[in-house]
Structure 1
Amino acid sequence: MPTAVLVDLAECETCSAHRPTAELVETAENEHLCSGCVAALDLCERCELPARDTALTTADDYWCAGCRAHRTLCADCDRYAPYIVAVLSGGDVCESCAEAYTACDDCDARTTDSYTVDGFRAVCEDCREDYTRCRGCRTLIRGREDYCEDCAQPDDSRVHDSDYTPRPIFHGHGPLFLGLELELRTTIHGYNDSVTTANNELDGVGYLKHDGSISCGFEVVTHPMSFDYAINEFPWSVLGRLRLLGCYTDDEVGIHVHVSRAGFDSPAHIYRWLKLVYRNETHVTALARRRDSQWASFDPDIRDIAKHLAHGGHGWGRYHAINPRPAHTFELRVFASSLQRQQVQAALGFAHATVEYTRTLRAHDVVAGHGWEWATFTDWVAEHPEYAALTAELAALTPTDTREPSSNLEDLACAS
């Protein structure tokens, strides 16, 4: 009679089936499972044991919970990493994901929010506390100095050379931005105080430049501003302060308004704008308080090549009512200079209003609605309260209604 063989049985910890102990497989979680239950598990690629819970590591392997116990989950890629980088204002990320964040040039920390400082470096929010803004261009500079190297002048007069062109700082929301150039004369004795006052008041919105046509004085130049920002945020009180210090204007100084090319919808839009201004020379010069100026000529030849200018042509010279030579702007040069807030705001308002008015102007509006005529334009302006200063200046004039239907077929075609 054969001898009975005793088999040591154990229970599978998943399905509770009894199997020979030697057939049960130990898992990474120290469980003992039958072959059927083990087949449903993944294999840890580090310890090579079956595991209920595996996760991806930065080495592109799947590890069990025990093997990855000393690794940290990256907040960006959801993989476990042996080394982790703490991101300021963010989470803990792996070294690979950390490369997507800016490294502070002062403390080397990675950060979600960085600040550009003088020299085109970037610093984190904590190190930002060691910097202040240049009063000329608003660039962050180290320490508590007032001006960066570009803006500082050895004699502290802070009036830049005529060819000075700093990095533009855009104020407000585009795409249509305006840049103001206001030419002023000063008395000899009031020059230094006027310069100091102007720079203190402008405080990053603008700066001062020398102008070869001004024997004693300077030019106030602003950074690009939206029309809304210019009206509501520009330090208009500076005009009164400069007037009290003896600053004045005459027939030889003017206001120039740069209008961003990016603010136009198309070459056709530029063409309509140029035509509106040039076709209304008499009214424009009356509003601008400046007739027959050698610095802002209404040259008929320029009017004739408006289509060429609208498509990127530059014409010749820059002393025209509209100077098309700047690469990124058109320079409206028609206005006489002023220290009166309403007159300066009217100049900005005219530049902005003419662009917006011609934005949707079409051939039908020109033919049936006298769209290019002054009275039609000024009626439109009166319906827009944001142009209050321009409306007030227009009300002070006594324009004559000279509506003359256009017979220029090319003009009408290009208006569409």
Structure 2
Amino acid sequence: MPTSTLIDPACEECSDPVIETRVVSTVEGERLCPACAENLTRCDDCTAPTRTTTRTVADTFLCSECLIGWEQCGECDVYTQDIHTVIGAADVCTNCAQAYSSCDDCGHLAVDTYSVDGGNRVCSTCEYDDYRECSDCFTLIRREESYCESCLDTHPSHAGVHDYDYKPAPHFHGDGPLYLGLELEIKTPPRQFDNAVDTALAHLGNLAYLKEDSSIRPCGFELVTHPMDYAYAQARFPWPLLGRLRLLGCYTDTDVGIHVHVSRTGFDSPAHAYRWLKFVYRNEDPVTTLARRHSSQWAEFSPYARSQALDHAKGERSAARYQAINVRPPETFELRIFASSLVPQQVQAALAFAATSVEYTRHLSAADIARRRGWEWTAFTTWLRTRPQYSPLLTEMEALKCAS
């Protein structure tokens, strides 16, 4: 049998044979002769020949293997082992980081920083998460506060008006199962602020409380009721209070609104909640006419929110707050559509619509929808006319010419 002869490998660059012991391996895994390998760059760290090196902040040139663990600066493109996060931009090296300012709250570098009350500057993330505008001016203050240092000394205050984030344990009034929570935003003349607060507290008793709210400028408060069913609200809310507040000069305008919280437990099922959400969003024109306020930045009739109605009915709450129906509260849906008012019929109509829209959709069947146009406003109006307990709503609809 003939003896086998080993053939020397060929250089992968020039194809010439090369003795096995003299083969040079590159970082990329190529096998070259010494002459071809000599023409390649060598890594400044491992000294291996390589076809590609990358510059670092230390002005060294490393191969791909030695570059593992290094990161590229998003600004100068040089690689570094000391990377800095920048809010609003790519991560950068230490040299490029010197062009950015640090947030005084989180310590991160940021493209833009914003001045806040007290003189510090914060990044856009902290500004969004932790700050809001002063209730009287545009100075950024902590969310749990109401006024900046300058306005605090001049703004009227009252021990009976709680901070914005005040939320006591709810006291339920009536028999349910559907409970409504009224939020009524009211503006007051500064000189009448104390009188208005005292008057409101004297009439409300334990049914409601007063809060500050940044949207009520330059002076005023938000009247917030504890949960109550519709019959209790109509019979027991102190409706003459609204007239007394008007006599004190209190007023409402396009900047303030009425929000009605509707208890989730008042719905029979997710399917019922879905029918209700869909009914409100399908009838934007008559609903906004009734609300005396068209879709706005505070209560938007968003096509996207309408498309997500089924998910929201099933409990999905990751949505923007300022929609016609805010689905973020865990225990309620917040109907945000109404313009504020100190006219009893208009406030009663807001409560009545919240209640009737839920009741109307409670037993709305596929046959009602397919054969009797149950989604349409005219079907709802016909249903409403047979229920005199909701007369404030029908009267308001007729006054606004949206009762057909």
Please list every run of 5 or more consecutive structure 2 residues that lacks an aligned counterpart in the other structure: 1-156
Q: Deviations over 1:136-173 (max 9, x none)?
A: xxxxxxxxxxxxxxxxxxx7531001110001000111
In the alignment, which of 294, 297, 311 is matched to residue 294 of structure 1? 297
Q: Deviations over 1:336-369 (max 9, x none)?
A: 0000000000000000000000000011110101
Match for 1:346: what amino acid? A
1:390 equivalent to 2:386? Answer: no
Q: Deviations over 1:35-85 (max 9, x none)?
A: xxxxxxxxxxxxxxxxxxxxxxxxxxxxxxxxxxxxxxxxxxxxxxxxxxx
Measured after TM superposition, the shift of residue 390 of structure 1 is 0.1
1:137-286 pair list within 5 angstroms: 156-215=158-217, 216-286=219-289
Other-structure match for 2:353: 350
Measured after TM superposition, the shift of residue 379 of structure 1 is 1.1
Aligned partner of residue 162 in structure 1, secondary structure = coil
Measured after TM superposition, the shift of residue 292 of structure 1 is 2.7
Measured after TM superposition, the shift of residue 305 of structure 1 is 0.6
Measured after TM superposition, the shift of residue 382 of structure 1 is 1.2
Aligned partners of 1:309 and 1:324 also within 8 Å: yes
1:11-410 pair list within 5 angstroms: 156-215=158-217, 216-399=219-402
Separation (CA, whole Å) in 1 of partners of 2:395 and 2:292: 14
Q: TM-score, normalised by structure 2?
A: 0.60
Aligned partners of 1:302 and 1:315 also within 8 Å: no
Aligned partners of 2:180 and 2:229 also within 8 Å: yes
Separation (CA, whole Å) in 1 of partners of 2:285 and 2:233: 27
Aligned partners of 2:187 and 2:221 also within 8 Å: yes
Separation (CA, whole Å) in 2 of partners of 1:261 and 1:360: 16
Separation (CA, whole Å) in 2 of partners of 1:350 and 1:400: 12
Separation (CA, whole Å) in 1 of partners of 2:312 and 2:229: 24
Q: Deviations over 1:59-116 (max 9, x none)?
A: xxxxxxxxxxxxxxxxxxxxxxxxxxxxxxxxxxxxxxxxxxxxxxxxxxxxxxxxxx
Aligned partners of 2:381 and 2:403 also within 8 Å: no
Separation (CA, whole Å) in 2 of partners of 1:395 and 1:316: 34
CA gap of 1:156–1:254, structure 2 versus 1, over 3 A, is closer
Separation (CA, whole Å) in 2 of partners of 1:207 and 1:237: 17
Match for 1:195: what amino acid? V
CA gap of 1:356–1:197, structure 2 versus 1, over 3 A, is same
Task: Give the number of equivalent residue pairs.
Answer: 247
Separation (CA, whole Å) in 2 of partners of 1:317 and 1:369: 34
Aligned partner of residue 272 in structure 1, secondary structure = helix
Separation (CA, whole Å) in 1 of partners of 2:291 and 2:360: 18
Aligned partner of residue 191 in structure 2, secondary structure = coil
Aligned partner of residue 189 in structure 1, secondary structure = helix
Separation (CA, whole Å) in 2 of partners of 1:325 and 1:368: 34
Aligned partner of residue 337 in structure 2, secondary structure = strand
Match for 1:158: what amino acid? G
Separation (CA, whole Å) in 1 of partners of 2:331 and 2:232: 20
The share of aligned pairs that are identical, in percent, is: 59
Measured after TM superposition, the shift of residue 290 of structure 1 is 0.3
Separation (CA, whole Å) in 2 of partners of 1:261 and 1:163: 22
Aligned partner of residue 190 in structure 1, secondary structure = helix
Q: TM-score, normalised by structure 1?
A: 0.58
Please list every run of 5 or more consecutive structure 1 residues that lacks an aligned counterpart in the other structure: 1-154, 402-416
Other-structure match for 1:21: none
Separation (CA, whole Å) in 1 of partners of 2:237 and 2:402: 30
Match for 2:333: what amino acid? F
Match for 2:215: what amino acid? S
Measured after TM superposition, the shift of residue 250 of structure 1 is 0.4
Aligned partners of 1:157 and 1:195 also within 8 Å: no
Aligned partners of 2:207 and 2:226 also within 8 Å: yes
Q: CA RMSD of the aligned region, Å?
A: 1.1
Separation (CA, whole Å) in 1 of partners of 2:349 and 2:236: 16
Match for 1:212: what amino acid? S
Aligned partners of 1:157 and 1:192 also within 8 Å: no
Aligned partners of 2:178 and 2:263 also within 8 Å: yes
Which structure 1 residue ranges, 4+ long, deviate > 6 Å from structure 2?
A: none
